[in-house]
Structure 1
Amino acid sequence: MRRTILALAALALLALTVWALLPRPVAVELARIGPRTIDVTIEDEGLAEIREVFVVSAPIAGRLRRIDLQAGDPVVAGQTVVALLGPLAPALLDTRSRAVARAGLAAATAAVELAQAQVAQAEATLAFRITEADRAAALFERGTISRHLLDLAQLERDTAAAALDSARANLAVRDRERDSTAALLNGAAADGSDTCCVELAAPQSGRILRVLTEDDQVVAAGTPLVEIGDPADLRVRVDLLSRDAVRVRPGMAARIAGWGGGDIPATVDRVEPAATTRISALGIDEQRVQVLLRLDGPPQDRQALGHGYRVMAQITLLTVPDALSIPVGALLRDGSDWATFVAQDGRARLRTITLGARNDMAAQVLDGLAPGDLVLLHPSDLIADGTAIAPSAGP
Structure 2
Amino acid sequence: MSEAKNEAANAATPPWEAKRPPTGRGLMRKLVIGLMVAGLIGVVAYALKARPVEVEVGVVQNGPLTVYVSEEGKTRIRNRYIVAAPLAGSMQRVTLKPGDEVKCNETVLARIEPSLAPLLDARSRAQAQARVDGAMAARSRANEAMDMARTGLKYAQTNWDRIKHNTDKGVISATDRDAFQREADMKAGEVRAAEFALQVAEFELTQARAAMLQLESPVEDGKSIEVRSPVNGLVLRVQQESATIVAPGAPIIEIGDPGDLEIEAEILSRDAVVIQPGAVVTVEQWGGDEPAKARVRRVEPAAFTKVSALGVEEQRVLVLSDFVAQTPALKALGDRYRVEVRVVVWHSDDTLLVPAGALFREGSEWKTFLFDDGMARAVTVKAGRTDGKLTQVLDGLKAGDEVLMHPPDTVQDGSAVVKRDEPK
Aligned match for 1:32, one of 30, 49, 59? 59
- Does residue 250 (structure 1) correspond to residue 286 (structure 2)? The answer is no
CA RMSD of aligned residues (A): 2.4
What SS does structure 1 have at the residue aligned with 2:56? strand
- Does residue 197 (structure 1) correspond to residue 224 (structure 2)? The answer is yes
Alignment partners' CA distance in 2, 1:51 and 1:284: 31
Q: Is the 8 A contact 2:87 2:114 kept in 1?
A: no
Shift of the alpha carbon at 1:341?
0.9
Alignment partners' CA distance in 2, 1:393 and 1:47: 46
Q: Partner of 2:190 in structure 1?
A: none
**TM-score between the two structures when normalised by the length of structure 2:** 0.64
Q: Partner of 2:125 in structure 1?
A: none
Q: Which letter does structure 2 place at the counterpart of 1:34?
A: Q
Shift of the alpha carbon at 1:389?
1.7
Q: Is the 8 A contact 1:34 1:325 kept in 2?
A: yes
Alignment partners' CA distance in 1, 2:419 and 2:228: 73
Shift of the alpha carbon at 1:393?
4.1
Larger radius of gyration: 1
Counting only pairs closer than 5 Å after superposition, residues 58-207 of structure 1 correspond to structure 2 as 58-88=85-115, 194-207=221-234
Aligned match for 2:366, one of 335, 338, 342? 338
Q: Which letter does structure 2 place at the counterpart of 1:296?
A: V
Shift of the alpha carbon at 1:258?
2.7
Shift of the alpha carbon at 1:295?
1.1
Q: Partner of 1:306 in structure 2?
A: 334
Shift of the alpha carbon at 1:272?
1.6
What SS does structure 1 have at the residue aligned with 2:39? helix
Aligned match for 1:287, one of 310, 315, 322? 315
Q: Partner of 1:348 in structure 2?
A: 376
Q: Partner of 1:381 in structure 2?
A: 409
Q: Which letter does structure 1 place at the counterpart of 2:333?
A: L
Aligned match for 2:244, one of 217, 220, 227? 217
Which is worse superposed, 287-296 or 227-236? 287-296
Alignment partners' CA distance in 2, 1:280 and 1:37: 34
TM-superposition CA deviations, 1:109-145 (whole Å, max 9, x none)? xxxxxxxxxxxxxxxxxxxxxxxxxxxxxxxxxxxxx
Aligned match for 2:72, one of 22, 40, 45? 45
Compared with structure 1, are the counterparts of its residues 208 and 393 closer, same or farther at alpha carbon in structure 2 (3 Å cutoff)? farther
Shift of the alpha carbon at 1:10?
4.2
Shift of the alpha carbon at 1:234?
0.4
- Does residue 230 (structure 1) correspond to residue 257 (structure 2)? The answer is yes
Which is worse superposed, 303-312 or 247-256? 303-312
Shift of the alpha carbon at 1:43?
1.5
Structure 1 residue runs of 5 or longer lacking an equivalent are 92-191
Alignment partners' CA distance in 2, 1:5 and 1:345: 41
What SS does structure 2 have at the residue aligned with 1:196? coil
Shift of the alpha carbon at 1:7?
5.0
Shift of the alpha carbon at 1:331?
0.8
Structure 2 residue runs of 5 or longer lacking an equivalent are 1-27, 119-218
Alignment partners' CA distance in 2, 1:54 and 1:304: 21
TM-superposition CA deviations, 1:45-94 (whole Å, max 9, x none)? 22210000111111111111122111111111111111111134999xxx
What percentage of aligned pairs have identical amino acids?
40
Shift of the alpha carbon at 1:193?
10
Q: Which letter does structure 1 place at the counterpart of 2:354?
A: I
TM-superposition CA deviations, 1:291-346 (whole Å, max 9, x none)? 11111233313122211122222110001122221122111123322110111111
